[in-house]
Amino acid sequence: MRWWLDWHRDALLLCCEGLSAEQLRERSVPPSNLSLLGLLRHMTLLERIYWRRIFLGDTSIPIPDDDDGADFNAIDDLDPPTVFDEWRTERRFADEILDTTPFDAIGAGGQTVRFWVLKLMNEYARHNGHADLIRETIDGTVGE
């Protein structure tokens, strides 16, 4: 199951590979505010919330209001390398948990590691579909 999560994570990176900052910020189609940079920022936030806040119980990690779309808005001034670094940091943090904790271990939020892996796989799979379409719009590249 872990390899499948990694496959989905890597698929998002492939959708972003080789693009300029402007292309990473490019919105899909109006009125959508989706962009590859916004999707990466969103998945960074989910990795952080699911593992640090909910699984480990770190209440210093805020859970933003889902209705404000902050992950996808205000991306024009973001530095893409910083967004990628933040995503890699959260992925490494989660991987440390996955490398040292059994899948049936229950976290502070009352769910197992397996639950959060499946939840993240679902999120990545859903958003990778969006990412594929955005990338195809940018330069014609299509995913698997």
CA distance 97 to 120: 14
Nearest Cα to Cα of residue 83 among 93, 94, 71: 71
Q: Locate all alpha helices (DSSP H) within the chain, ordered by sequence.
A: 2-16, 21-25, 36-47, 80-100, 113-139
Q: List, for residues 35-80, the tens digit of each pLDDT value.
A: 999 999 999 999 999 999 999 999 999 887 766 677 888 888 899 9
Fold classification of 2-139 is Four Helix Bundle (Hemerythrin (Met), subunit A) (1.20.120)
The pTM score is: 0.93
pLDDT category of residue 130 using cuts at 50, 70 and 90: very high
Q: Where are the domains of the chain?
A: 2-139
CA distance 16 to 12: 7
